[in-house]
Amino acid sequence: MEGLTSKRLVVLASGRGSNFAAIADAINSGQIPRAEIVGLISNKKEAPVVELAQSRKIPCAVLESNAFRKEGRFDRSSYEKELLKILRSLNPDLICLAGYLLLLGPDIIQSYPKQIINIHPSLLPLFKGLHAQRQAILDGAKETGCTVHFVTEGLDEGPIILQKRISIFENDSEESLSSRLLPLEHETYIEALKKLCGS
Ligand code: GRF
């Protein structure tokens, strides 16, 4: 019965991995009943997220992006050919970007239409790109939040799935705001996945 099968999630991450861990733990504790993580792919072998996957016995592939850098130039096309091979072998229903610091090119995006999602630490379309929390503070915004959205070819531009907001306090620094926002990111990603996978 197709309606009752689990969605196969593949997570792409480059760093700390708190969103990855939150999703994995939510699935483990039955909060997202129709999802399973079938693999983590990281472009950094030293990234803490790799250990978080290993300790949870989640299959993990490292495709070191630095190995595709020659004379300072990143060979995105060769990198993505390899990435696509790994993705195809995992046969994902959904690809979840969680602190994945590389842009995805059109070949990958077009191979998985409406199947790639991302979390961004702002109320998109505000404050796209890096240091979104710092951008919000510098702009004098009174509130910010996080957004889970579909990934399209424009940076942080695809259709929004879910947003949650928090206040910015007068004495907030980039660090204090980011750490207050992080638990909300986890909550938002989990809720968005429930919505996409069915609960
Ligand atoms: C999060 O702030 C996420 O919104 C952004 O990158 C950060 C990743 O954090 N895209 P983590 O690696 O999931 O802890």
| pLDDT tens track for 162-174 | 999 999 999 999 9
End-to-end CA distance of the chain: 15
Domain that holds residue 96: 7-196
Structure confidence at residue 3 as a pLDDT band (50, 70, 90): low
Q: Is residue 72 part of a domain?
A: yes
Task: Compute the distance between CA of residue 193 and CA of residue 180 in angstroms, rounded to an integer.
Answer: 21
Kindly report, residue by residue over 108-142, the tens digit of the pLDDT.
999 999 999 999 999 999 999 999 999 999 999 99
The pair of structure tokens assigned to 84 is 């696509």
Q: What is the CATH number of the domain that holds 110?
A: 3.40.50.170
Residues sharing a CB contact under 8 Å with residue 176, sequence separation 6 or more, in sequence order: 169
Q: Outline where the chain has alpha helix (H).
A: 18-28, 48-55, 76-90, 106-111, 132-138, 174-197
Q: Is residue 39 part of a domain?
A: yes
Q: Is residue 2 part of a domain?
A: no
Average pLDDT, the chain: 96
Ligand 1 pocket, residue 147 CB under 6 Å: no
Q: Is residue 186 part of a domain?
A: yes
The pair of structure tokens assigned to 41 is 């792919």
CA-based nearest residue to 16, from 42, 58, 48: 48
Nearest protein Cα to ligand 1, atom 10: 99
Q: Is residue 127 part of a domain?
A: yes
Ligand 1 pocket, residue 44 CB under 6 Å: no
Q: Is residue 1 part of a domain?
A: no
Q: Is residue 16 part of a domain?
A: yes
pLDDT at 177 over 50: yes
Kindly report, residue by residue over 26-85, the tens digit of the pLDDT.
999 999 999 999 999 999 999 999 999 999 999 999 999 999 999 989 999 999 999 999
Size of the chain, expressed as the number of residues it contains: 199
- As for how many domains the chain has, the answer is 1
Q: Which atom of ligand 1 is nearest to the CA of 18?
A: 14
Whether 186 sits among the annotated catalytic residues: the reply is no
